Amino acid sequence: MITIKNLRDETPVHEWQVRVDRSSPLGNPFVMRGVLDRDAVCDRYAEWLNAHKNDPKIKAELDRLERLYHKHGKLELFCWCYPKRCHSSTIAQEIERRISDS
């Protein structure tokens, strides 16, 4: 089970709780200039992640998240914008895809 939480509501303290905000290797590099940009920024992130998922730094972080899921049977991703549409949903989908393929 992969869940997404907001960093304003809770602080990650367990190994299976991982920040994926802009300070992380999987942070969204696209800046949202206004609320109307949210969908475009999230769509661009999905394209970016797909294009960069074999980049050594990105792949290592995706591999780490997948290992954490297998080790604990759960994974919680933390970002600042959730529950609004967020790039963390794209990360969760990628990890879920990897899990189902294994």
Q: What is the pLDDT of residue 63?
A: 97
Determine phi and psi for 77, rounding to 5 degrees: -100, 135
Task: List, for residues 15-53, the tens digit of each pLDDT value.
Answer: 999 999 999 999 999 988 887 899 999 999 999 999 999
Q: What is the pLDDT of residue 22?
A: 93
Rounding to the nearest 10 degrees, give the CA dihedral for residues 102, 88, 39, 99: 10
Domain coordinates in residue numbering, the chain: 2-25+35-101
Q: What is the pLDDT of residue 59?
A: 98
Angle between helices 38-52 and 87-101 (to 10 degrees): 40
Q: What is the pLDDT of residue 84?
A: 93
